Amino acid sequence: MCKVIYCLVLFNYLGFSDAKNNGTFPSNFLFGVATSSFQIEGAWNEDGKGESMWDEFTHRVPSPIKNNDTADIACDSYHKYKEDVKLVADLGADFYRFSISWPRILPTGYTDNINQKGIQYYQNLVKEILKYNMIPIATLYHWELPQTLVASNLDWVNPDVIDIFVNYTRVVIQNLPDVGLWITVNEPKQICHHGYGEGKFAPGRNNSGVDDYQCDYVVLKAHAAAYHMYKEEFPHYQAKMSLTIDCEWYEPLTNSKEDINAARRNIDFECGLYSYPIYHGDWPPSVKERVKLRSELEGYNRSRLPEFTPEEINYIKGTSDLYLLNVYVAYLAKDVPEAPSNITSFRSDIKAELIQFPGTSVGVNGFPIVPWSVENVLKFIKDEYKDPDILITEVGTSEDGSSLEDDMRIDFYEEAFNAVLEAMYNYDVKVLGVTVWSLLDNLEWTDGYAAHFGLYHVNFTHPNRTRTPKKSAHYYTQVIKTKRLLRADNGSNSNKISGFMATVLLFTILWNNLCN
């Protein structure tokens, strides 16, 4: 019996699920980098391009952007796309995720005015990506709604924009048949709750708890309509399609039922608001319950959350070929008292306070740096949304750009990538690959050029917008080449082995003293 106990205890200590994670990715694991058109292209009014709502937003006086920055030139990637694709290839990446500027293709938003120079630009970009045997991943909507549509009230709170978006999508897909993965919409939460609820992002609408939910409703229907059009009209195309959902991780501040529920509400209101309709149909039950309750308290005669019809539920459900995840931050969540009845807002619907994890630092853009939380998010998605294939389409952290020695970014990626491996090996989460945000330092929306996410530094004061690799670029190149983390090659595993040997020695001593 003593021998049996010895073997069981030793086996349990080694925890072979943990031992599986030796810092090595599967041979078919994919690595890529991402950019977006508005943030890097520049050439905002060249070659027939129309104005986007972010062009209009950044040109406002007073400017809503830090240091009055604009994307008029940005990284000048419109003229330097070959150089940028070569930078991606130099990393050894398997794919390059870019986005399409809607007003560069359709200056007015409509298909009666197709800008052939815009079409040609993206055709050239895709051709350049393929030249290096990389996969082109294209985002159809990364926040660049043509300003002419906004001016005509045909934006994301108006269901009439759905058909216009589908028509735009059709034109792009027809002209870019070699794209390897289509992303309909990037981060609907940011579009709707920052753009229509808080007024922080374009178009700057500040009607939280009303317009943001209407936007959610319209964006989800637009995504579904584009998905169905693609499947019906392009059945010979092999590329998959989905939308990217940004999910933050929330843990309860205490073990109280109230804080546990508050953490779950945050996940449901931010990640579940888009995942639940696609994987289960309808809004998350907790979201419907909370918005209905708050609406009644505030004197509304019906819920502020638009109601899906049974037909709409069935139409949206299943419109995803894989789960595309953007993951950045995590918080502790604390339940709070019910807000007064004269307050209508997204946050009062959630009924929670967010608190930074103790001991964590914050990036230049204000994002808490909590890379270990990636594992929690991945496991949650597996458990809640039918164990889908997952491609992480953005993960990253920002610094101030003062040095090319960005060790903090390397540390972040080591931990985030290890969290991915932990999810894969410990919980069998089906992660296909990761995408670093971003290839280049760029205009980081309202933070302008102050927040640096790039693997490559860009000199925004030089006319040539000179690119220089940071230390993290060399790090990522090594990870891609070896499919191994740094810790897998610099002693961490040997430390594990030493720990294993020490454990064996300890149990052997116990054996000799207690079992003989």
* Catalytic pick among 251, 312, 394, 399: 394
The three-class DSSP label of residue 242 is strand
Residue 219 has which token pair? 């964006």
The helix or strand, by DSSP H or E, that contains position 399, with its residue range, turns out to be none
Is residue 41 part of the annotated active site? The answer reads no
Backbone φ, ψ for residue 436 (5° rounding): -80, 130
Is residue 187 part of the annotated active site? The answer reads yes
CB-based burial label for 348 (10 Å; 0-12, 13-18, 19+): buried
CB atoms within 10 A of CB 3: 9
* Catalytic pick among 51, 128, 144, 187: 187
5 contacts 407 by C-beta, under 8 angstroms: no
Distance CA 459, CA 196 (A): 33
β-sheet bridge partners, residue 98: 138
Q: 């330092």: which residue's tokens?
A: 441
Contacts of 293 (CB under 8 A, 6+ apart): none
Whose CA is closest to 412, among 387, 395, 424? Answer: 395
Alpha carbon 350 to its chain centroid, in Å, reads 21
Whose CA is closest to 414, among 401, 429, 397, 389? Answer: 397
Distance CA 415, CA 411 (A): 6
The helix or strand, by DSSP H or E, that contains position 183, with its residue range, turns out to be strand 181-186
Backbone φ, ψ for residue 213 (5° rounding): -70, -40
Catalogue the active-site residues: 187, 394
